[in-house]
């Protein structure tokens, strides 16, 4: 999921490990979210937004459904097989 986490975290002066400690996550989790290797759960997204004094949609801007489906369709067949065709 595309995000603005790194920019907002740096603007607030947090390191990844400081932000992780604030939200009860690991530094690896914060870095994986920043690098778009994993998506946070809803509660973690809200915790991160609260720690950075931002809205969830500031961190994770909405993407139109058509774009999400196009990106999903571009994935290899085995990713679609294991991930399903949901949102």
74-83 pLDDT, tens digit per residue, is 777 666 566 5
Question: What is the C-alpha separation between 38 and 76, in angstroms, rounded?
Answer: 17
Domains and CATH numbers, the chain: 5-59 (1.10.260.40)
What integer is the mean pLDDT of 20-33?
96
Q: What's the pLDDT at 86? A: 46
Q: Tell if the pTM clears 0.85, that is, is over it.
A: no
């Amino acid at each position: 999921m595309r995000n603005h986490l790194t920019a907002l975290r740096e603007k607030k002066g947090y390191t990844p490990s400081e932000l992780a400690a604030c939200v009860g996550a690991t530094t690896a989790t914060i870095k994986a979210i920043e690098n778009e290797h994993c998506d946070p759960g809803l509660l973690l997204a809200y915790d991160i937004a609260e720690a950075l004094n931002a809205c969830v949609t500031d961190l994770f801007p909405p993407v139109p459904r058509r774009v999400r489906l196009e990106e999903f369709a571009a994935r290899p067949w085995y990713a679609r097989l294991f991930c399903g065709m949901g949102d």
